[in-house]
Structure 1
Amino acid sequence: MSILTDPRYVVPPVPDAPRGVAWLRASVARFSSGETHRRRRALVVALLDTVPPDSLRGRTGHPVAVLARALDLDAPVEWVADVAQAYQPGTGDEARADDATDRLVRRLGGAYDEATAARIGLLVQACQATLHLVDRTRTTPLDVVLRDDPPAPSTKRLAPNGEIVRVPLAGDLAFGAGPHACPGRAHALALAGLPEAATP
């Protein structure tokens, strides 16, 4: 059994916060588990269900811009990128991500709620990883990219003994597995101009 499908291994929890990128992490499906994760993931799936993947195929521009237009969201790519560079805890400029997150919340209606977090989180998840997929598959077959240079190289899980375990995401696991498998897999492939059947 993969760690990603083992219910004993959960996503490392993140602290609550009233605003900024820490609020976003604490309010999205990506960093939650159990019933909270299922509720928040359903919000993301509902958003994606309004956009048939084939409708994204052949559209030009940054993946975030294409997806935002399809979702009728007024979210500048630059702001989303500023959030994405520090979305994973400890990876980037938190102050820049805080400012961009709060600007996005105001642009999308001003509510610090799970619905707003789902919209922002979906665009953030589509930012660096999907752009990487689009760029790399222009010159390299998809199976090679997913095996050797996947869009998201790894993820983390909290083991039953309290240790943080790094889980490589490559090949068949490039889009994850289990409860946290990427809900936007078909959309990412479509943005890269690839068929849904391109991966197992």
Structure 2
Amino acid sequence: DKNEKIYVSYDSTNKNCKAGDIEMAEYGHPKNDVGAPIINYSIAYDMTNEKPLLYESYPGSIVDVSQLKYMLEKIRGYGYKKIGFILDRGYFSKANIQFMDSCDYDFVMMVKGRASFVHGLIMEHMGEFESKRACSIKAYRTYGMTVKAKLYADDETDRYFHIYYKAKKQASERARLEADLDRMEAEMDKIKG
């Protein structure tokens, strides 16, 4: 029933193309750059009914962030009204978020922790959740909390941000940093004098 709420997981990838004259094969931003043109393709998967809704291919020069609006319009054209989307960080842009808001679509979108607004939220709430048992997500051995904030300065909507901390990841990143520092120190010691 197209009036029931469905949740759509949408993702895309690209494929290096060494075949001859394929119009969609264009140079773009491949995940694995071997110097060949690429073809992008994506799939929208109905998480509620566990069925693919659509798939599409598009030229290699078109980036994920700009393709999302066309996919959203395509799904709306199929008559679906109540939709929620699960998206990865490749689709993050102010224009995409504003378009989903204008369509009244719910969404969950991953964003990079190093984005300035995310970093600001993390710094603002540092020490509030990283080791509190009430914030523990046992199944994932991580800690998290949800905060409410505006995404950008002229945002008209308060949004929910889920921020996470994983001690194991911090430890491995710290170990990698220490190893890099030791290596650099050894190199510097070699060229002293």
TM-score (norm 2): 0.25
The higher-RCO structure (CA 8 Å, 6+ apart) is: 1
Higher strand share: 2
Higher helix share: 1
Which of 1 and 2 has greater Rg?
A: 2
